[in-house]
A = this chain, B = another copy of it.
Amino acid sequence: MTSSEMKETKRQKVNKLPLYNNCNFDGYDSQKLMLQTEKLRNLITKRGTFEMLIPLCCTINPLRYKQFRELMKGISSKTLTRRLKELEKDGILERHAYNEIPPKVEYKLTKKGQELVESIFNLIHWMIKWS
């Protein structure tokens, strides 16, 4: 490969999306990556969101409000309710209301949500390892 061909390949590498899985971002443009991840980055890094993913890692069953509530002592009910709405609005959780007395509401991961939860396993393992 000539010197200019190598430069072309590197430029292409920088502009292309990396392959999903088994591909790091070395050489990728930081600014571009910042922009590409902005919307979901803002959602995931909001206070309480990551905490909500923890119980969702631990079961394939739907979860009820109170199950999140019990685990997330440092988060206000108002914030928790708001996060649940946002995660539903952003297509990460599905909400199911059952016509029972008393009423029952469950939250279940969508496909997008399931992939999110799977994508944080390594991060959680890192936290356990280095704690």
The residues of A with any CB-CB pair to B shorter than 8 Å are 17-18, 20-21, 23-31, 33-34, 36-41, 44-45, 47, 49-51, 54-55, 57-60, 71, 91, 112, 115-116, 118-131
Contact = CB atoms under 8 A, between A and B. Distances in A.
A32 B121 CA distance: 15
A51 B31 CA distance: 11
A28 B125 CA distance: 13
A44 B122 CA distance: 14
A130 B40 contact: yes
B54 A127 contact: no
18 contacts: A18-B125, A20-B125, A24-B121, A25-B57, A26-B58, A28-B58, A29-B58, A30-B55, A34-B71, A36-B127, A37-B131, A40-B130, A41-B127, A44-B123, A45-B45, A45-B50, A116-B123, A119-B122
A123 B115 CA distance: 9
